[in-house]
Structure 1
Amino acid sequence: MALDSNATKPHDRLAQALADEMAAVNALIRDRMASEHAPRIPEVTAHLVEAGGKRLRPMLTLAAARLLGGAGDRAVKLAATVEFIHTATLLHDDVVDESTRRRGRPTANLLWDNKSSVLVGDYLFARSFQLMTECNSLAVMAVLANASAVIAEGEVLQLTAAQNLGTTEAVYLQVIRGKTAALFAAACEVGAMVAGGSAAQVAAMRAYGDALGIAFQMADDLLDYGGTSAIGKNIGDDFRERKLTLPVIRAVAAADATERAFWERVIEKGDQREGDLDEALRLMRRHGTLEATRAEANAWAETARAALAEMPKHPVQAMLADLAAYVVARLT
């Protein structure tokens, strides 16, 4: 199909290039999220699935397959599998984080209850495994099963590291590699696998997804201290939830005794007062941790772009390279 020249964002151009496959993915998602016996399941799922998300992860699966000649129905099923895994983790995350907003709308746990969110998330995980078996590839199943385990591990690690000022940059990287990058990497990897990519090409797409996911999450963590409500959450949500993201970890590491006492009060003890978010921002700016995190995100974006050198020259390859740059450029 002809691309709209007015589409300036890389993910919009990618969505246009993959429009037919994405339509098939969306139709499959609607079909498989149905339940004959439990109407609560499609109610909860539809609230999140149809909330206008970018469908970035399934697009990565389709894009990787397209780069290597496409994989038809198998790629579509795997893209839907990836989206089901992602949606299941969002339902669980909102319960764990006691969130009230997701993609600019009230969360499912707020509209229904925690039990519904957890159980429907479990249902979507089960659906994802049903779908992946239909591709008849144990290697593909292993990649997605491993990713699911790593995602859960990352979430548990984040839970145990929360409010702990001893959390290091290495632990933070392990957390975001689990909770975000693992599914980006797997989405890219299985797309390349079902399209018959070489071992080097499959590894390159996995490396691209891993680095893209890390850059994406670092940028998201920065947006919490300088974005807008349009991103679907309020400014300072991570601060109020006492999450140790990279800008805070670096500010704590550079803190003097007075500053450390501040971080202990607001993060470890949860004693947050009027003006504390502004003070946290002042300290992060003082030590340059926001700009340092931006530079780190840019470096990971460049790592993602470099991984694409293994892939065939193709319009989709250029879109993926632009996407890596955009996930950080959206900060400006």
Structure 2
Amino acid sequence: MASCCAAGAASVGSDPASVENMRLFGENVGIAFQIKDDLFDYESSNITGKPNGIDIKEQKMTLPLIYLLNNSGFNEKRKIVNIVKNHNNNPEKVASVIKKVNQSGGIEYAKQKMETYHDKALRILNDFPDSESKTALNQLVDFTITRKK
């Protein structure tokens, strides 16, 4: 996303500072988008249409899971990593990790981080003059964190 935004700004002849600001904008939007995607893995599948726990089954480290691991004791961390690495096809064990993520505050932490990146992107856009493009980009930023899928 960062490269796309920078390339778009460069392609219309923007000055180097504006190109860099658009790169930073894209980076922040992209991170917010990824965190939102991470959060979908912990929601009920009837909300997103996607089964939950897929990232765990694919051994992907999401921000909520990283938060859980960073805030777990040594033995608990070993158990969680063991499930993610070796028992990721066991629905009960995957569900237990999802439950622990929810209980640890990992979801709230990820939502706060997502909001932080959302807000950074909007602040960067505020430095640009009002235009249809700016309005569309503002809507993109908001959609990134409010999307349902």
The equivalent position to 1:276 in structure 2, one of 93, 105, 109, is: 93
Contact 1:209–1:304 (Cα < 8 Å) also in 2: yes
CA distance in 2, matches of 1:229, 1:185: 32
Contact 1:302–1:325 (Cα < 8 Å) also in 2: no
After superposition, the Cα gap between the structure-2 partners of 1:188 and 1:227, relative to the gap in structure 1 and judged at 3 Å, is farther
Cα offsets for 1:249-293 (capped at 9, x unmatched): 111121235532431321233465341222112211221001100
Select the structure of larger CA radius of gyration: 1
Structure 2 residue 73 is matched with structure 1 residue 262: no
Normalising by structure 2, we get a TM-score of 0.86
Instruction: Give ranges in structure 2 of 5+ residues lacking alignment.
Output: none
Contact 1:298–1:325 (Cα < 8 Å) also in 2: no
The equivalent position to 2:136 in structure 1, one of 319, 322, 327, is: 319
The equivalent position to 2:8 in structure 1, one of 173, 191, 197, is: 191
Normalising by structure 1, we get a TM-score of 0.41
Q: Percent of aligned pairs with the same residue?
A: 26
- Alignment coverage as a number of residue pairs: 149
Contact 1:208–1:308 (Cα < 8 Å) also in 2: yes
CA distance in 2, matches of 1:231, 1:198: 41
Describe how 1:25-44 pairs up with structure 2 within 5 A. none
The equivalent position to 1:242 in structure 2, one of 56, 59, 63, is: 59
Cα offsets for 1:115-169 (capped at 9, x unmatched): xxxxxxxxxxxxxxxxxxxxxxxxxxxxxxxxxxxxxxxxxxxxxxxxxxxxxxx
Offset at 1:299? Answer: 0.4
What's the secondary structure of 2:59's corresponding residue?
coil
Partner of 1:60: none
Contact 1:250–1:289 (Cα < 8 Å) also in 2: yes
CA distance in 2, matches of 1:227, 1:185: 31
After superposition, the Cα gap between the structure-2 partners of 1:327 and 1:271, relative to the gap in structure 1 and judged at 3 Å, is closer
Q: Which amino acid aligns with 2:92?
A: G
Structure 2 residue 124 is matched with structure 1 residue 302: no
CA distance in 2, matches of 1:199, 1:261: 47
After superposition, the Cα gap between the structure-2 partners of 1:328 and 1:198, relative to the gap in structure 1 and judged at 3 Å, is same
- Cα RMSD for the two superposed structures: 2.3
Partner of 2:28: 211
- 4+ residue segments displaced more than 2 Å: 227-234, 256-262, 268-274
Instruction: Give ranges in structure 1 of 5+ residues lacking alignment.
Output: 1-183
What's the secondary structure of 2:60's corresponding residue?
coil
Offset at 1:203? Answer: 1.4
With a CA cutoff of 8 Å and minimum separation of 6, indicate the structure with the bigger relative contact order: 2
